[in-house]
């Protein structure tokens, strides 16, 4: 069904409802660009959460806003053209998920406000000048409270399995924060007395070889930090990790929900809802340079006990009691 037909079908029920959240309607229909790295199939749930949050604030797609979604299918080379297309459509604001999407949008416009909401260390990667005073046309939310998150995730992995000594780390070489991630993981593993074996991933075709290399390296644990590509291919990665029968820490809760053993992360849907509040402020006249960047205030430990049992791994009761969610 095309957009016009959809609006004819459901427009009556939408138009009959008053605007929520005190939105000021001046007759203008604002255009919102939504640019993210994973595929539509992978990222649609978070996008739906964003749209529903906007609706709660009184911004209804097809009524007083038009939302143009662009999904890169984890092909970073597509981002520049997708971002340029949103600029050509005269978007009033661009919502960008992940560092690469934010960077692509900023490269083609220094005037359209850009709201980031799935980014890691935006200061260290040069997306904003500072969290308190972002400057320029970019503001929004980060996925972590700083690069120290990797140390916390590795500490939890060691708390669960104190005898581990050699950890394989999968890192996307295409990630804008690649160098920072590797540096922070080196610091964290050294502090925990762990040997690290960094496996560089350039595309999904590298997954099988990376896991084969783990076997040769005789590692006894796996760490896969958050990354858009790893998010899109989480089911495949979870299966490969299960085949090794090694304990694994994941950087996104969705990976534990897909069968990963452990995850310590913020809630992506919560970030999407909070991104909608930034859009609301921008459409009401706020300037991105004046809106401080927000960091997550809550991280959740998710333990997939079903996976632990399938792999024959015992999770300490003390850690189970600390978990925010136990999947059984």
Could you give all domains of the chain from N- to C-terminal order, each with its CATH number? 3-143+267-290 (3.40.50.2300), 149-265+300-327 (3.40.50.2300)
Cα-based distances in Å from 278 to 86, 240, 285, 287: 18, 38, 11, 10
DSSP state of 288: G
What is the chain's pLDDT, residue by residue, as a tens digit (328 residues)? 443 343 333 333 333 333 444 445 568 999 999 999 999 999 999 999 999 999 999 999 999 999 999 999 989 999 999 999 999 999 999 999 989 999 999 999 999 999 999 888 888 888 999 999 999 999 999 987 666 889 999 999 999 999 999 999 999 887 777 888 888 899 999 999 999 999 999 999 999 999 999 988 999 999 999 888 999 999 999 999 999 999 999 999 999 999 999 999 998 999 999 999 999 999 999 999 999 999 887 899 999 999 999 999 999 999 999 999 999 9
The whole-angstrom separation of Cα 36 and Cα 240 is 25
The whole-angstrom separation of Cα 310 and Cα 328 is 11
From its phi and psi, is residue 236 left (phi > 0), alpha (psi between -120 and 50) or beta?
alpha
Residue 284 CB contacts under 8 Å (≥ 6 apart), including other chains: 23, 24
The whole-angstrom separation of Cα 9 and Cα 205 is 43
The whole-angstrom separation of Cα 234 and Cα 66 is 31
User: Do residues 156 and 319 make contact, with C-beta atoms less than 8 angstroms apart?
Assistant: yes
User: Do residues 216 and 199 make contact, with C-beta atoms less than 8 angstroms apart?
Assistant: no
Q: Rg of the chain's alpha carbons, rounded to an integer?
A: 21
Residue 323 CB-half CA count within 13 A: 23
The residue ranges of DSSP E strands in 79-165, in sequence order, are 93-97, 114-119, 138-142
**Predicted pLDDT of residue 14:** 36
């Amino acid at each position: 069904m095309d957009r016009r037909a959809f609006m004819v079908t459901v427009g009556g029920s939408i138009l009959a409802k008053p605007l929520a959240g005190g939105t000021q309607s001046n007759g203008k229909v604002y255009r919102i660009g939504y640019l993210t790295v994973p595929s539509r199939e992978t990222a649609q749930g978070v996008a739906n959460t964003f749209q529903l949050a906007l609706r709660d604030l009184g911004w209804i797609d097809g009524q007083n806003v038009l939302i143009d979604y662009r999904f890169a299918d984890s092909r970073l080379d597509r981002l520049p053209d997708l971002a340029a297309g949103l600029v050509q459509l005269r978007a009033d604001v661009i919502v960008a998920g992940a560092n690469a999407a934010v960077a692509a949008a900023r490269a083609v416009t220094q005037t359209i406000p850009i709201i980031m909401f799935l980014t890691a260390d935006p200061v260290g990667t040069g997306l904003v000048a500072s969290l308190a005073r972002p400057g320029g046309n970019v503001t929004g939310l980060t996925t972590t409270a700083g690069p120290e998150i990797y140390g916390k995730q590795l500490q939890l992995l060691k708390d669960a399995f104190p005898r581990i000594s050699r950890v394989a780390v999968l890192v996307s070489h295409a990630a804008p924060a690649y160098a920072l991630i590797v540096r922070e993981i080196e610091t964290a593993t050294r502090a925990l007395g762990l040997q690290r074996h960094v496996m560089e991933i350039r595309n999904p075709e590298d997954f099988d070889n990376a896991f084969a290399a783990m076997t040769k390296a005789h590692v006894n644990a796996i760490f896969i930090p958050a990354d858009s590509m790893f998010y899109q291919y989480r089911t495949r990665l979870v299966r490969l990790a299960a085949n090794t029968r090694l304990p694994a820490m994941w950087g996104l809760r969705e990976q534990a929900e897909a069968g990963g053993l452990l995850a310590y992360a913020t809630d992506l849907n919560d970030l999407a809802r909070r991104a909608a509040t930034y859009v609301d402020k921008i459409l009401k006249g706020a300037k991105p340079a004046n809106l401080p960047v927000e960091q997550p205030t809550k991280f959740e430990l998710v333990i997939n006990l079903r996976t632990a049992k399938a792999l024959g791994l015992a999770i300490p009761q003390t850690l189970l009691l600390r978990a925010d969610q136990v999947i059984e």
